[in-house]
Structure formats: C-alpha cells, structure tokens
Amino acid sequence: MRLLVIIPAFNEQQALGGLLDELKALPGPTGVEVEVVVVDDGSADRTPEVARGHGARLLRLRRNLGIGGAVQAGLQLAEREGFDFAVQIDGDGQHPPNELHRLLEAARGPSAPDLVIGTRYRDNPSGFRSTRLRRLGSAWLRFLLRAVTHLAVSDPTSGFRLYGARALRMFADTYPYDFPEPEALAMARASRLRIAEVPIKMRERQGGRSSISGYKSVYYMFKVTVAVVLAYVRTRRRARGDKGRDAVG
C-alpha cells in the first residue's frame, strides 16, 4: 500500500524543514510505503531548496496557483503514480505529522471512507482554539454545508485530509482553486463519496503568515458561499450526466 504526503507550500522556508524532519522521524505505518512531495507554489524564498535539502520530492509550480492548484498538482502526481492514498498537510506546521496515523486508521477501517478530514473542533484533544472570526466563519460554513448538501462536518476548512482512491481520481481531475476546502467537501458530497472526520491535535503555525486576513476574510466568506452552492449543483449535474451515459452505454 502506498501513501503520498502532499505539502503545499508558499514561502514556508521557516516551518518546512522542521515539518519534513518530523515526517522523516515518524515510524512507518505497517504495510504502508510513505513518500513525501512538497508542492512549491511559486515561492520567492528558499522553500524549494529546503524541500530538496530534506530529501523530499519537489513539484515546482512556475507561478503561484493558490492552495487549490498546488494540492491538485500533488493529487495528479499521486493518481498517475498509482498511490493508494494521499494526505494533504499544511506547510506551515499547523498539522502535527504524528496525527497522520489517525487519518490512515480511519481510512483503513471497516467503513473505508473515501475522504477523511482531521477536525480540530470535535473532542479537541489539544485544546486548540482559533480566532473568534475564524470560528464564526467556520460556523457559517458548517451551516451552509448542512443546508445545501446535508453534510454535517465540524471542521469544513481543515486542510489536514486523506484522500482514498475514489477521491484521488475525482480531485486529480477537478479541484477547486482559491479557497478550496469547503467547496471540495460540497463536490465530494455531490459525488456521493464517503466522508469521515477524525479528531486531531492542531498547533500554532510554526512560521510564515496566514493568507486569509483582514479584508480577504470578507471576500473569502462571500466567494466560498457562492462556490459551495455552485460546486454542489455542478457536480450533481455532472454525476447524473455520467450515470445517464453509463446507462445508455
């Protein structure tokens, strides 16, 4: 069984080295061959050199595509090279690599979900508390996803995710760009992927700056609200079209 760890990174030279060291020091899960790829999203700092220096595979995007484009590049690599699973971990070190086994256990469990999300809000073993604005935004997105897609998740913006084979195939082909996490959930739901949540510990970012702050938060909420509705409708229509074609064929 092969697992690809995808680290999208934009100007993350401070945190990336430590994260890669932690990943390297992890005891390998039994029967799982783990590889790590850093997707450098057009960084202006030494992110690519740090990735190479720590022995990770490196995808260098020649221009900044945003988190969605970077994650999709990693998923495309995983799909082409026949990986069974891919895990997305933020390059800022907020997701402790030693929590990775929880996602993997859930994916290999009896319900075998296609998409496993690490949640910082359910059970919350680390006592991690994000800012009030983020919690408010998260509450709105929870409500939106439940209202539009009937999906109940506690952490719709979590970037700590494991993709199974079906999710890999789907998202390698189509993945949302700007602020993709909630939109990707709507797409997964519309495609009837099995989604599970696992409580994980989170920590403060180990370096760099958040890309969503100030006026961008307002834009983020507006854009994501529209995007979630559109992504759900579009993916449902596409899925119905595929089913219709299969029936005719």
Partner 1 sequence: MQSAEAYWRLSDGVGNWVFAAVCVMIALVLMRLILRERITLQGSMSYLLFLGVLGGMVLFPDVTGWVAHALGFSTLANFFFCTAIAALTILHLRALVTLSHVHLRSIALTQELAIVQERLDRVAAQLARAERASSSRATEPPEHAT
Q: Given the rule CB under 8 A, which residues bind partner 1? A: 37, 39, 57-63, 65, 69, 72-73, 76-77, 80, 177
User: CB 20 → partner 1: shortest distance, Å?
Assistant: 16
Q: How far apart are CA 228 and CA 240, in angstroms?
A: 18
Closest separation between CB of residue 3 and partner 1, Å? Answer: 18
CA torsion through residues 207, 208, 213, 214, sign: positive
Q: What is the nearest approach in angstroms of partner 1 to the Cβ of residue 58? A: 6
Dist. CA 62–CA 60, nearest whole Å: 6
Minimum CB separation of residue 155 from partner 1 in Å reads 27
Judging by DSSP bridges, how do beta strands 85-88 and 161-163 pair with one another? antiparallel
Two tokens, residue 174 = 């189509």
Do 97 and 77 contact (CB within 8 A), yes or no?
no
Q: Based on CB atoms, which residue is closest to partner 1, 76 or 98?
A: 76
Specify whether the CB–CB gap between 20 and 52 falls below 8 A: no
> By C-beta, is 71 or 202 nearer to partner 1?
71
Angle (deg, nearest 10), helices 165-173 and 66-80: 120
- Provide the 3-class DSSP secondary structure of residue 81: coil
Q: What angle in degrees, to the nearest 10, is found between the helix axes of 180-190 and 66-80?
A: 50
- Strand ordering across the sheet containing 85-88: 57-61, 33-41, 2-9, 85-88, 161-163, 115-119, 195-199
35 bridge partner residues: 4
Q: How far is the CB of 207 from partner 1 (least distance, A)?
A: 23
174/225 with CB nearer partner 1 = 174
Q: Which is nearer to partner 1, 128 or 177 (CB)?
A: 177
- Give dist(CA 124, CA 172) in Å, integer: 31
Measured from the CB of residue 107, what is the shortest distance to partner 1 in angstroms?
24
CA dist 80 and 215 (Å) reads: 38
59 vs 116 by CB, closer to partner 1? 59
> 80 or 209: whose CB is closer to partner 1?
80
Cβ 26 to partner 1 shortest distance, Å: 23
- Which C-beta is closer to partner 1: that of 59 or that of 231? 59
